[in-house]
Amino acid sequence: MGSRLADKVALVTGAARGIGLETARAFGREGARVVAVDLDEAEGGAAAEGLREAGCEAVFVRADVSKAADCERMVAAAERSFGALHVLFNNAGISHIDDGDAESTDEAVFDLTMNVNLKGVFLGCKYGIPALRRAGGGSIINTASFVAVLGAATPQLAYTASKGGVLALSRELAVIHAREGIRVNALCPGPLRTELLMKYLDDDAKRHRRLVHIPMGRFGEAEEIAQAVVFLASEESSFVTGATFLVDGGITAAYVTPEE
C-alpha cells in the first residue's frame, strides 16, 4: 500500500466500472478512504466491497449525479462516514448510442447527456466545494475528454459539447477558488479500451480508423488514466490548477481528418 493519499477522503462518481473503478482502487492503494458513488447499486456496492476486501476503508453511495438532492447526499455521506472530504473526482458520464450530429440527435438524447455529463459535474462541485473548504482545501478532478479540444470524425455532438462545457466550468472554478487551496483540473482521456468506447468501435475497421490517429498505436487503459487522477489528487500536483490535463497517447497532437 502506498501513502500518496494517506489521511485523505476521496469521493469517486461513476465508480462501478471503467475509469471510476480503477481510480477508486488506485486511491485505496495510496491510502485514501473512498466514497464510491454510482447509479448502479449492484455493481457500485460490489466495487466498494472489493475495496474493503483489499484493505481500504470504503463506503458505497447510490446517486444520480444529475439530481441535486443526490449530489448533496453523497457529499454529506462522505463527511458523515469519514469526517471530511479532500478529493472529489466528478467522473460519472454517459455516451448515448443515439448521439450523432445535430440533425440526427434527438433533443431528449442531448438533454440527458448534458444533465449527466455537465450538470452532474456542476452539482458535484456545488456541494463538494463547501466540503473541501471545510477540510482546509483539496483537489477536484472533472472528467472531460480529448474530444473537448478537437472535432471528432465520428459525430457524437451532445457528448462532445458536454465535455467542452466541463473544460470551461473547470477553468473558471479553478480561478475562483485558487486562493482557498482548492484546485480544479479537467482530465481529458484519449480513446480507451473501455466499454464506453468499444460499443461504438465494434468491428476491426472502426477500431483501425481511430487507431491510425493515435501516435502510440494503441488504445489507453483505464488503469493508466487512474494513475493520472492519483497525481492530480495528490500533493505532487500542488501547483497544478485550471489545467486541461490530456492523457491521450498523443492523439490531440497529431489529429487530422481521416481520408475516406
Q: Catalytic residue positions?
A: 159
- C-alpha span between 226 and 232 (Å, rounded): 10
Beta bridge partners of 60: 36
List residues bridging with 74 in a β-sheet: none
CA distance 9 to 251: 33
Compute the distance between CA of residue 75 and CA of residue 84 in angstroms, rounded to an integer: 9
CA atoms within 13 A on the CB side of 196: 22
78 neighbors 131 (Cβ within 8 angstroms):
yes
CA dihedral 193, 244, 235, 90 (to 10 degrees): -60
Query: What crossing angle do the helices spanning 222-233 and 18-29 adopt, rounded to 10°?
Result: 50
Q: Which residue is listed with cell 449527466?
A: 116
Contact 160, 148 (CB under 8 A): yes
Q: Please, which residues have CB within 8 angstroms of residue 125's CB and are 6 or more apart in sequence?
A: 88, 90, 140, 142, 169, 173, 184
